[in-house]
Amino acid sequence: MDLSRVLAGPYCSMILGDLGAEVVKVETPDGGDDTRKWGPPFQKGVSAYYLCANRNKKSLTVNLKSPEGKDIIKKLVKENDVVIHNFKTGTMERLGLCYETLKGINPSIIFCSITGFGETGPYKNLPGYDFIIQAMSGFMSITGDKDSGPQKVGIAITDVLTGLYACIGIQAALFERERSGLGQKIDIALYDSAVSALINVASNFLMSGQTPEPLGNSHPNIVPYQTFQTKDSDIVVAVGNDRQFAVLCRLMGLTDLADDPRFATNPKRVENREVLVPILQKRMMEEGSDEWIRSFRANNIPCGPIQTVNELETDPQLQERDIVHSIDHPTAGKIRLIGSPLKLSRTPAKVRYYPPDAGEHTNEILMELGFDEDLIGFLRKNKII
């Protein structure tokens, strides 16, 4: 049962749905998930943003502030393995739907709380949005360069990371439940998730005490590992070791650089990047991107073009991996979705259901819980569903 909206929670439950879980998306009767109105673009009134994170679910609309609505949730809890929500800290307690209450109904329930800053600490009551978290977590301070100033990542990356962490936590709790028979509460924060994803940048600071600075498309620990401008476009070159650097120099006709003590090892290249990179950049400008990429790939030098999103659709690798799926939607018509990257041999992730319209499955779900048509009609008339 997914009580969340926008991205982190819905992204988590979509992954679980892709892997075969039955997911009930609980929405408000007065319009549903906020992202249903986020746009353009819309296709026949259906938001592209909403579609990106809500396949493989059924939608139930419930007024959680009404006693009858709360009773519906409690009935669902008896039948569910997992509850996901992303209300602000304290909201589920005020609704009478907190973990302690739901655990009393179903001791094996896995209860996943997704908030901006977690359920403890001085920031626990603050609202958390991806942009704010990117700013506070250090992401923006290391993204961009000295001329651009702080920049955010082009997607809601902290929501995506948090959705992935939540999914991992839920699966771990389900696995542990097979041994103990007991559920548990999971407290996931966007802020924690973002800071944990600083990986080597945070480790660099913890070891050196030096505040990381934005390096644009360069790497703080590896050189050359960045974009280069060629005669006709930009490419990425990612040299990961000294052997690769020597091969790179040979292919570029700059063999003397590999023997230069200033550049012979990666620590020296990092130390002397301001000298090395302009030499490589000047040579890169003498040939086109296709020529460089063909030469580098033929000799196992990691590299690639900087593709726009529209170019992904014709990328032969992605076509082979079946990453874009078409599916019929009752309102939007034929829609296309980015599929799951999870490739399991026996139980593959599948796009089984289109992202539902708000409340599309309300009657179906309530009837499965034992509600008759008269009671459903009463609840709908009184705007409880």
| The token pair that represents 334 in the structure block | 């034929």
| The token pair that represents 279 in the structure block | 């030499």
Nearest CA to 385 out of 81, 72, 20 is that of: 72
CA distance 42 to 28: 21
CA distance 162 to 15: 12
Q: Please, which residues bridge with residue 24 across strands?
A: 58
Dump the DSSP string for 71-137. Answer: HHHHHHHHH-SEEEE-PPTTHHHHHT--HHHHHHH-TT-EEEEEESS-SSSTTTTS---HHHHHHHT
Which one of 159, 187, 259, 322 is the catalytic residue?
Answer: 159
The question of whether 372 is a catalytic residue gets the answer no
**Could you list the active site residues?**
159
